[in-house]
Amino acid sequence: GEVDMSEVATFVKRATTACQRPACRSLGASRRAPRTRLSTGLGPLAAREASGRALSSVLRRARAQQQQHQDEEAFEDEEAFELPHEVENRYLKLLKRQERTARHLSEKHSGGQKQRKTHKVMTISSGYLKGSPIVSPNDKKVRPMMSKVRSAVFSMLLSRIGASQLPEQCRWLDLFAGTGSVGIEAISRGCGEAHFVELDPWTAGEVLGRNIAALGVEDECAVHVESVFDFLSKFGYKAEAMGGPFDFVSVCPPYNDMNFTDLVESLEQSQVLSARSFLVFEYPKEVASCLKENLGPLKQLVNRTYGRTTVAIYGPQELD
């Protein structure tokens, strides 16, 4: 049964008093000693030893009972801890700690990197958005097509199709979009739909997406944040959903760390081009040998050099 703690206290008090009683006492005390011996049947030393053993036994039982109560309380706490709302709260706290840790590590990792910024250095050259500013990264990681080159390219395209502006039903694909200046220029000049492919998430969100939103052409534009090579290789699976091959495709790749031979082969094997498409390909003159007279179903119509930059325009075979 359970131990009554009041009885334990009384027993401990009596045992302590007996243990502290001296062996040699006065004459009056010696006369009372036989009654103690008769009642216990033990001498003073044996009585102290027996009291000590009894006290240890009682204390062990008391500690065992206390430990049992603590274990029961802990078990009840564990059962209460498993309540759904408390589990959810603990899980959310854990997620917050992990987010703080990840944010701290990210800030620590990027502490030595310079924060990227934008500036306004270009404008749309023609169309209903003429003069509208376009933001560009304030670094050399993005190299947009120069304004004079962009104006010359659209003038040559319009002269080839015999129109003053692009048909409203046509679709434009801007590969290595960067700022989106080429595709947005196409929208300004009458194109009804433009798709932009940009690998860098920061550029896609803080530059390209910002330009599209600022000029109010979100309904005409779609941004694909992925590698150009992945987009070209997977286009066949979604060509029908996206409207089939594009009418116009512009390619403005970075000059450094780019395999132009692989890029040309990817374009030829992809379904983004048809026999009626036009392709604008900007490249450094050092890799001119990578571009032949024909690219897929198209033939080269124009090849112009502007400083270090060269632009080749490919179109239908029947055009001169």
Q: For 255-277, how does the pLDDT look when each residue is reduced to its tens digit (9 = 90+)?
A: 888 999 999 999 999 999 999 99
Residue identified by tokens 């008090």 is 13
Render 235-270 in DSSP notation, one character per residue.
Answer: HHHHTTTTTSS-SEEEE---STT--HHHHHHHHHHS
Burial status of residue 153 (CB atoms within 10 A of its CB: 0-12, 13-18, 19 or more) = buried
Please report the pLDDT score of residue 80 as a whole number.
46
The predicted-structure confidence for 184-204, as pLDDT tens digits, reads as follows: 999 999 999 999 999 999 999
Does the pTM of the predicted model rise above 0.75? no
Contact 19, 51 (CB under 8 A): yes
Q: Which of 115, 149, 140 is nearest to 256 (CA)?
A: 140
Return phi, psi of residue 129, to 5°. -105, 15
